Amino acid sequence: MKLFLDTGNSDEIRTASAWGQIDGVTTNPSLIAKERTSFKELILEICHLVEGPVSVEALAPDFEGMMREAREYAGWASNVVIKLPLTIEGLKAARACKVAEIRTNITLCFSANQALLAARAGASFVSPFVGRVDDEGWDGMKLIEEIIQIYANYDFDTEILVASVRHPLHVTEAAKLGADVCTMPLKILKQLYHHPLTDVGIEKFMKDWEGQRQLVR
């Protein structure tokens, strides 16, 4: 499973890239709005920092506007992927982007039927938001299971990108189900490395080592 970082912060991307575990980045308008750099400069910087796909969201509500943004942002760097909302206009734009050879990530997906439509529109990625589904009292990971089954039935090429990840268990479940990608904030990526027994084990090895070294000195 590929791991993407869900952020608009270039320092976070630098940190995670240095760990060698990042295959791409997802941004969204809320994440970009937290940063103080101009939109274009920030996207160019992020695209330079990672080799993999960088999702950049189009904000226009209509097909023409989305296509204008898609053409512009896709021209900024070869790894830009255009994020489009799961609406009639968004999926029309996804189809047109496919013809124009612009990669797309269909965002704000909350149902299996929406994911079916995204794949039929030729999206490169679909982003089901598992955390937001859980927040409403449904089962986000059940949604991933359904989408994986539907995509396998018809051999769709669209990659399933598990988004709105809130805790490490979401990552484990996504990997167990065989999702293509999981995007997460830096905090969760960091949590994946940690286990209290690893820390206790390191501490004990160091203590034993030091004790033994005192004796042979």
Site residues for ligand E4P per CB under 6 A: 6, 26, 28, 107, 127, 129, 131-132, 163-164, 183
Nearer to ligand E4P, 33 or 216 (CB): 33
Which alpha helices (H) appear in the chain, and where do they start and end? Answer: 10-19, 29-33, 39-49, 63-74, 88-99, 112-120, 130-135, 140-154, 168-177, 186-193, 196-216
Coil vs helix vs strand at 141: helix
| Helix (H), strand (E) counts: the chain | 11, 8
**Taking a C-beta distance cutoff of 8 angstroms, is the pair 4, 186 a contact?**
no
Q: For residue 214, what are its two tokens? A: 């005192």
Please state whether beta strands 125-128 and 104-109 pair in parallel, antiparallel, or not at all (unpaired). parallel
Nearest approach in angstroms of CB 163 to ligand E4P is 4
Nearest approach in angstroms of CB 165 to ligand E4P is 6
Nearest approach in angstroms of CB 4 to ligand E4P is 8
Nearer to ligand E4P, 52 or 131 (CB): 131
Task: Report which residue type is found at 143.
Answer: L
Q: For residue 63, what are its two tokens? A: 């097909």
Nearer to ligand E4P, 24 or 122 (CB): 24
Nearest approach in angstroms of CB 146 to ligand E4P is 19
Check residue 62 and give left, alpha or beta (phi > 0: left; psi -120 to 50: alpha): beta
Positions annotated as catalytic residues are 83
Backbone angles phi, psi at 24, to 5 degrees: 175, 180
